[in-house]
Amino acid sequence: MGCASKTKEAIVTTKENELVDYFADNGFGNAVAIVQHPAGIYHKGITYVAYQGALEDPYVASYNHTTKEWKGPFKAGISEMGKDPNRKKKIDNHGKPAILIDDAGYIHIAFGGHGGTPDNGENPLGNHHYGKNLHAVSKKPLNISEWETLDNISVFGTYSQFVKMDNGDMYLFYRHGAHRSNWVYQKSTDNGRTFGEPVSFLKHKRQQNIEAEDSWYPWVSKGNGDDIIVAFDYHICRDNKNAQDTRGHIPERHNLYYMVFNTKTCVWKNVKNEPLEMPLTKEMADKKTLVREIAEDWTFQGVTDVDPNGNPQVCILVGPDVGEKRSGPKRIKHFRWDGKRWLKSENKDLPRGNGDLEVKSATEVSIYLEHVTSDDVGEISRWDSFDGGKSFKKSTVFLSRKNSSFVISSLIDNAHPDARIIVAQKEDGTDFRKMYLIGDNGPIQRLKKESEILNKKTNN
């Protein structure tokens, strides 16, 4: 009797303390992406992560690297998207949260927008589509349990990207509407309590020779010192009047560009330090900021980083248009500025997939990559180069799952080695995703009973 009782107690204790690799199971759709960023930030011993949860609402969780304690996820706001069961596109995915911590310790997220709607009024810098760009702030410093939504940014935003400078100034970059809209930033000098009016830096405009408009997809990040760095590609937004093409709007993008914004002088410049007239037009972008013309294949998701000397490296996905399937599989292409010209890596070892870039020096660079292997294993891995991108080799596999695929965030800001990237695992038969926090030692584990958010009767 005594032995049986002890055995039963041991089994219960084991189940009670069961650990899993994921920290939450309520990620929804493409719960994170490289473009909406940062999705995570390391600050004073804690990594904070944000992602899209049920009904496309934003969720925030945290992990204390000293105590090994997880908190959350807590719902940080309510998106206007994801609530209409009659909407043709079930999950919009454009309003995923970006996160920032201000100098007073308050946590900010921007979320929920895909260009706004006519109900929000006239969009002076573009057109409308769906949702409402929102800004939420934690009610207490470094506390993710309670949030308030502030009415101090444009509702027409989408693809929110936060940058904080060394002096505490906050910049929120986004597209001011749907495809045919300017890209803008709003600046705050008071820890996000107020923001200036939107300032355009990429201009949408009508093409004169074809039935289309110029549009853009930039990726914005902090460079060295007072610089903000931007990698971007060009989206030709066609009118879709061609009876031979029944796809409707197509995500056709081309070329790769790079430029820098000096936040101290408020001057935009190209890689040669030549000033640029803002907002930048397609013609001026081609003349002054072109990294590489990519006219035939399609591009997707540029990212950039700079070495200690300020010389940039840029990656972008490149692949063919394959007709009704919209676009073919894409492979990462890498470019490096050597001080005089852009050098293209000829490396062909990098697999197809999406990733982010970390530049340590002119010669040492890493790409954090999601891809699916030839035997249908989803992988999150790091590929290292020690010759400026001429060759890459896979150095570490952080996570692998058979018959699965992943979506990933950009690299976490100021990342702790144990928490560099956020990953959502796609599984057949459900729109919900398991969420992982991945670092040099693989995923950070959590008690299963804490990670299973969907099984809880209440969902904070």
Distances from the Cα of 369 to the Cα of 6, 380, 445, angstroms: 47, 6, 21
Cβ count within 10 A of residue 329: 14
DSSP code string of 139-184: SSTT--S-EEEES-S-TTEEEEEEEE-TTS-EEEEEEESSSSS-EE
Q: In terms of DSSP bridges, do strands 170-176 and 183-188 run parallel, antiparallel, or are they unpaired? A: antiparallel
Taking 50 as the threshold, does the pLDDT of residue 10 lie above it? no
270 token code pair: 């190209």
Residues labelled as active-site residues: 94, 159
> What pLDDT is attached to residue 296?
94
State the Cα–Cα distance between residues 194 and 182, nearest whole angstrom.
Answer: 22
* 383-394: average pLDDT: 95
Mean pLDDT of 183-205: 98
For residue 417, which phi and psi values (nearest 5 degrees)?
-55, -25
Domains and CATH numbers, the chain: 19-451 (2.120.10.10)
Judge whether 224 and 260 are in contact, CB under 8 Å: no
For the stretch 391-440, pLDDT in tens is 999 999 999 999 999 999 999 999 999 999 999 999 889 999 999 999 99
Burial of 238 (0-12, 13-18, 19+ CB in 10 A): middle
Confidence band for 245, pLDDT divided at 50, 70 and 90: low
User: Has residue 6 got a pLDDT over 90?
Assistant: no
Percentage with pLDDT > 90 across the chain: 85
Stretch (H or E) spanning 407: strand 405-408
* Integer Cα distance of 369 and 409 in angstroms: 10
Tokens of 391: 């060759």
**CB-based contact 336:313 (threshold 8 Å):** yes
Q: Which two tokens stand for residue 337?
A: 């500025």
